[in-house]
Amino acid sequence: MEGTATTGPWYHTIELPSGEVTPGLFDHRPVLQKYGLPPKLEGKRVLDVGTFDGFFAFEFERRGAAEVVALDVPEPGAMDWPTPLRRTGTGMARSYDNFDVAHSALGSRVTRERLPVYEASTERLGTFDLIFVGSLLVHLRDPVGALMALHEICAGELWLADAVSRTLDIVGRGRPLAQMRGASGKLEWWLPNRAALRDCMDAAGFVDIHAGPRFTVPFRAQRGGIAHAVLRGRPGGPVSP
Amino acid sequence: MVSAELRQRIEAHLEWYHTIEIEPGLVTPGAFDYRDVIDGLPLPDASGLRCLDVATYDGYYAVELHRRGAAEVVAIDISDHAQWDWPPRKRQAGIERLSRERAAKGLGFELVNEALGSPIKKIELSVYDLKPQVVGTFDLVTCGALLLHLRDPFRALEAIRSVTGTWFFSNESVDVGLSTLLRRTPAFRLNTNLPTPTGQWLVPNAAGFREMIRAAGFDIESDSGNYVLPFGPGYTYSNTTGLRALGKRLATSALTRSRGRAGGPHRALLTRPADL
């Protein structure tokens, strides 16, 4: 791990050409098929939102996307800190420099944009055939606001893969519920059930929403991993009253 | 004594949200009637205080603060139905429905304030835009049943915190079923996809309401517990007759000791900005 050891802990598990594998907190490799993402992305302009170390952005590049843009916050202070943690919390934030390490090791042509998701706009980023949002909404104070911004730049499909609550799926029996974790200190705001995640996309203006089943993403810090679901939808126009 | 002309305008007003006793014999027929429950809520003594009522609607809390001896009462609210936080695809239909079914925003407040001799200073301002540079700071801030109508309630609470000197009194809708099902887990019901667009976003359980207030940087000093805010004659937002409504009322009654009175489950918290 000579080239990767000095950059701080890895978030994503990424296989580098040298045979090295970055020691990520998350390992998406064994469950990547469950995301159901298109195997071929030739000719597509793709946006990876909340890219972190870039696992998905590099994967989209590998699948032949014409252009991949990887979006993340400019610095940890730009994340949605709850009021009680704003002063102390920013110190616990992880570094975003590993992206550059992986990018250079892979000889990648992915473009990096440093912008809070709420500020995504056609002026700043253009439009995309495929937008992927992975494990991000759980960290946002205003998830529907973020999806509304992405709706504006979505010319094809939005794929949303995020943590979901097994308990609230069961307790809710189809009702949209979300656990609120704002004061937990972990910079997690909402843990929705699948129905609530669906309704967030609906509220933001997406249509033809398809919600896939729950599956577990392996996570080093939590035995049993983290339950996720993948949803996808298309941008809808205004509804006539 | 309110003039016959003003009384007539009050009686002809299209829609009342709050039941407010303007003078003996003149009561606005509101959707919500606090009169029997207000003494059980942790609203502090307002005498001599500079007070702000956020999202005042017809002005119930502003009037109450004035009557409790506040030195000054400022009330804010949005200026028209287009300023609600609408989901984009429901926006047009929502605005048109409210323009049809409800009075112009602020008209009820103006009638009440005029009848009382205009003691309240009204500013047309969204909660999101509250800043000490714009309105100053207040000894006591009240806010009733607003957060459920906001897409980003935390941003609103942050703005409220920026103008709160000592006390923030927050009264909100709570889901009593979810409060019982999940006693300790802060949870919210997402209400953006109801059959009729209601302009609602999130309704918390009891733990969720308390956690939201804490996450926004307030310490809770006093808590009313879940209670039922009685509907007044102006309540038309959902069906209150029929078997389903009766079942709901009985269940709510069992969980809040409301003795079967029709109303909406609420909870009130008295809080202070935490030392951070």
H or E stretch at A60: helix A55-62
Average pLDDT, chain B: 94
Q: Do A204 and B193 touch (CB under 8 A)?
A: no
Q: Do B187 and A168 touch (CB under 8 A)?
A: yes
Q: Name the A residues in 200-229 with CB < 8 Å from any B CB.
A: 200, 202-205
Q: Do A142 and B151 touch (CB under 8 A)?
A: yes
Q: Is the backbone of residue B133 left (phi > 0), alpha (psi -120 to 50) or beta?
A: alpha
What are the tokens at B253? Answer: 């009654």
Search chain B and give the residue with CA nearest A182.
Answer: B215
Q: Out of B89, B181, B190, name the one closest to residue A178 (CB).
A: B190
Asked if residue A4 has pLDDT above 80, the reply is no
Per-residue confidence at B232, pLDDT binned at 50, 70, 90?
Answer: very high
Q: Do B151 and A199 touch (CB under 8 A)?
A: no
> Among residues B50, B104, B97, which one has the least CA distance to residue B77?
B104
Q: What is the pLDDT of residue A154?
A: 98
Q: What is the pLDDT of residue A32?
A: 96
Q: Name the B residues in 223-252 with CB < 8 Å from any A CB.
A: none
- Tally the C-alpha atoms within 13 A of residue B178's C-alpha that lie toward its C-beta: 28
Asked if residue A85 has pLDDT above 90, the reply is no
Per-residue confidence at A93, pLDDT binned at 50, 70, 90?
Answer: low
Q: Which is more confidently placed, B245 or B8?
A: B8
For chain A, list the strands marked E by DSSP: 10-12, 24-26, 45-49, 67-72, 111-114, 128-134, 154-163, 177-180, 190-192, 206-217, 226-235
Asked if residue B86 has pLDDT above 80, the reply is yes
| Mean pLDDT computed over B127-140 | 98
Distance (Å, rounded) from C-alpha B97 to C-alpha B106? 17
Q: Which is more confidently placed, B61 or A184?
A: B61
* Burial group, residue B71, by CB count within 10 angstroms (0-12, 13-18, 19+): exposed
Per-residue confidence at A232, pLDDT binned at 50, 70, 90?
Answer: very high
Alpha-carbon torsion, ordered A210, A211, A213, A215, to 10 deg: 120
Residue A170 touches partner B, C-beta closer than 8 Å? no
Residues of chain B with C-beta less than 8 angstroms from the C-beta of A196: 190
Residues of chain A with C-beta less than 8 angstroms from the C-beta of B189: 175-177
Q: Do A239 and B89 touch (CB under 8 A)?
A: yes
Residues of chain B with C-beta less than 8 angstroms from the C-beta of A137: none
Task: For residue A86, give how far its alpha carbon lies from the nearest alpha carbon of chain B (Å).
Answer: 9
In this structure, the strands spanning A177-180 and A154-163 are: unpaired
Residue A89 touches partner B, C-beta closer than 8 Å? no
Residue A151 touches partner B, C-beta closer than 8 Å? yes
State ipTM. Answer: 0.93
Three-state DSSP at A214 gives strand
Residues of chain B with C-beta less than 8 angstroms from the C-beta of A199: 190, 192-193
φ/ψ of residue A231, rounded to 5: -120, 150
Q: Do B212 and A176 touch (CB under 8 A)?
A: no
* pLDDT more than 70, % of chain A: 91
